[in-house]
Amino acid sequence: MILGNQENKVSFAVLYNDKSIPSSYQSGFSIGAVLPIYSKGQAINMINLQYTAHSIYTTMEADFTKSTFNEAGMNLATTLHTQIEGMVNTEGTKNKKGEKIKDGDLEIDLGMVNVNSKDGLKKISGTGVLKIALGKWMMNSSNWEFSEQGLLLKSGAIDAGVTVPFTNLCILPKEIKFGEYQLDNLTLANTLTLEIKKYNPTISFGYDKGFKVWNLSIVPNPAQAYCSEIKNLPGMGNTTFKVFSINTFSSGQFKVNILTTGQKVMINQVAQFEPEGMDLASGYVAFTGILDFQIPKFPVFESFALKYQKDNNGVIQAMPGNLNDVDFKINGVRYTFKVVKDAKGNMKNPLFSDGSLAWMGTVTDEVEGMYTFNIMKLLKTKDSTTIHETTADNTFLFSKNGKTGVHVVHASQKVIDNGSHWSNLTFEGRLFGMEGVNEAKSYTVMTVKGAVEVVPSSSSVAINNVETPFGNMSIVFDFNEKALIGSMHLDNVSLGGGEEGSAGGAALTGDIEMRLGSGSWYMFGAGEATLPDNGFVDKIKAAFFIGMVDQVYLNQKPIIKQTIQSFSYEGSYIPPMFNDNVVTGICVAGGLAIPFPPPVPTIDIPLDPFFSVSLTHGLHINAVVSVGFGDAVRLDFYANVGGFVEAHAGGSVIIGCVSATLRCDVDVNVYGGINFSSKDIYFHGETVMKLKGTVKAGGGCCDSDCDHITLCPLPCIEVNKTAIIKMTSFVDFDTNKSPKYTFSIVPDFNVEFQ
């Protein structure tokens, strides 16, 4: 039983071996009002001993189930309770009894505290690891002592997301004070070790009553722009990240701020990374930011995380886990690269390591999906970027039914011109399903230069927007015709002759079409070239034809013959080769119009509605040359030179008018040729002179040209007469006719009334 408690000394009457053995204990130790009763050295009334240590700690508690008492003294299994001001146990931590720990209480397990009659409450020097929970943090120390100075942690570390070594940290009943932090050895997420001490940062540690968490903050001192640096990370070469601040909270939140303004680094020598922040988690550190593989048309990853973790070999670069599937189009083809992970979440595709990016995927047509190549491998190194096939089991189809196409054995595409753009996809293999084609000798190489589309009739496929130096070309493969048909429009394409983009340069506008297949082929084009300003010739028109095509098909394309004929006088000439059953050969035509050279003036004096006078004139030159290889080899030519002068005068008094126009046209036409097979030669020359005069008279609201004045309510009643005189002379020579020479003059006079 309890015998007494006087002058801060404790006397116990304890039943021990059925004998009463009194003992006295010195100061430094006092007990509470309720004590356990011991029998034979063991507590028997199931009450924990509440006592005060060193007059400082008033809430010491000894677990009766583990504490003992004998003649030598007491061994108390002690928990030190604190009352940290403002501290709230927001985590809901429970003690060993399953009870919620009170606010402000750290519940520090001191182990066995010895109290005896000689030393009283003995000074305790830690022999085991002392662990103190601070929210989700843990404070650890294996070098500590408990004395009249308090609980002094001589050395230890705070695991606060970063590992912070410390010395001489003192835990008092209501506060944690003193302490020196050894920040020359700071570890991030047990992965990266930072140098801190040499940067002499400002460090603060304590309880934040506002946020109700413990907080550790490391910031630069006023003389320094940053508090640490991260260097020599695998895959980053000599890149250094400057750490501006480190803030960690016992709630589990952690923030490392790095200076990122304008900083761009190369990762694994193949990708550019622009860091924006840093995240820490259990076992790894992640740099977050923008990742750019610097591949044309390839997407940029806006929220990329580059992770580092530690294994038995040291710090290694972890596989980035947040790459997304990639789908992009280039030069008429569409690539798809998917992310693949194993059951543990480890990246299997792509493989992004030091020196390369390797990503397996597929390629198909940009629009319709007429083909799919599996498996294509995107491989980027520091020197090149390529995509190539890794299996021969690929097919390019010419038709949706899959009966015609190419068995592909190799396909590739690469970035060219110093990384500025992609080449076209090229593939090679053997043709199949092609009528008349020996598959054993059908090895072919093809280049995709545009998107393949199925024409609505389903009998052809089209490749549109094939880029050329002159414009975009469209190509159609017609299965019914078994022919490849292409077309291209040239819209003001520069031909030089002036500064780029200036109005003074020559430019070409026109159309080109081609056909290849079914035993025939041709290329045809027509247009006009606008020349730099020279005061003489401003435009030249031209057309050409080259090929071998039957007359039936040519009659279905009348534009070819009509265009060639337009370069002759009144459309009167067509090269003889266009009359063959199979048109085979080359034809080139050109023409230009020019004014009469000085001193012949051009006059235009419009003083409508009362008076108008004009004098206009011009010259034109046309030529057509053809070489035929059809029924016979022959050379034919045509030339036309002509000019005109037109004078006009008119007058009006509003209620009446009179005008006269006189025009003179002269044309010289020459054509001929030689048949190299029969040695026949022919020649035809003619001169045509035409005079045309027109006189008009009218009454009503008429202007000087005897046209109605728009705002006048009365009409203009016009009467006119036109007279035409035409004189034609020609000469013919033909070695295949008799007589070989002919000459004639044909006059023609006609008067028209309108």
Output the pTM of the full model. Answer: 0.51
Examine the pLDDT at 682 and tell me if it is beyond 50.
yes
Give pLDDT, residue 18.
30
Q: Does the pLDDT value for residue 77 go beyond 80?
A: yes
**Which residues contact residue 210 at a Cβ distance below 8 angstroms, ignoring those fewer than 6 apart?**
none
Bridge partners (DSSP) of residue 347 are 341
Q: How confident is the model at residue 45 (pLDDT cuts 50, 70, 90)?
A: low
pLDDT at residue 14 greater than cutoff 50? no
The closest of 576, 572, 578 to 680, measured between CA atoms, is: 576
pLDDT at 1: 31
Asked whether 699 and 655 are in contact (CB, 8 A), the reply is yes
Mean pLDDT value across residues 579-592: 92
Contact 431, 437 (CB under 8 A): yes
Burial class (CB in 10 A: 0-12, 13-18, 19+), 378: buried
Residue with tokens 């193949």: 270
Q: What is the pLDDT of residues 609-623, one digit of tens each?
A: 788 899 888 888 999
Chain segment 509-562, per-residue pLDDT in tens: 888 888 877 678 899 999 888 877 766 677 899 999 999 998 888 888 889 999
Look at residue 731 and give its three-state secondary structure: strand
Which tokens sit at 749?
């006079």
Q: What sign has the CA pseudo-torsion 412, 417, 422, 423?
A: negative
What is the model's pLDDT at position 95?
66
More confident residue, 522 or 743: 522
Q: Are 216 and 205 in contact (CB under 8 A)?
A: yes
DSSP characters for 533-600?
--SS--EEEEEEEEEEEEHHHHHT-HHHHHHHHTTSGGG----GGGGSSEEEEEEEEEEEEEPPPTTS
**Long-range contact pairs involving 320-328 (C-beta distance under 8 Å, separation at least 24):** 320/291, 320/347, 320/352, 321/345, 321/347, 323/347, 323/350, 323/352, 324/299, 326/298, 326/299, 326/359, 326/361, 328/297, 328/298, 328/299
Q: What is the mean pLDDT of the chain?
A: 80
Torsion (CA) 496, 501, 503, 505 in degrees, nearest 10: 0
Instruction: Give the least confident one: 312-316, 346-350, 738-742.
Output: 312-316
Q: Given this model, what pLDDT does residue 754 score? A: 44
List the beta bridge partners of residue 131: 140
End-to-end CA distance of the chain: 149
pLDDT digits (tens, 9 = 90+) for 284-295: 888 888 999 999
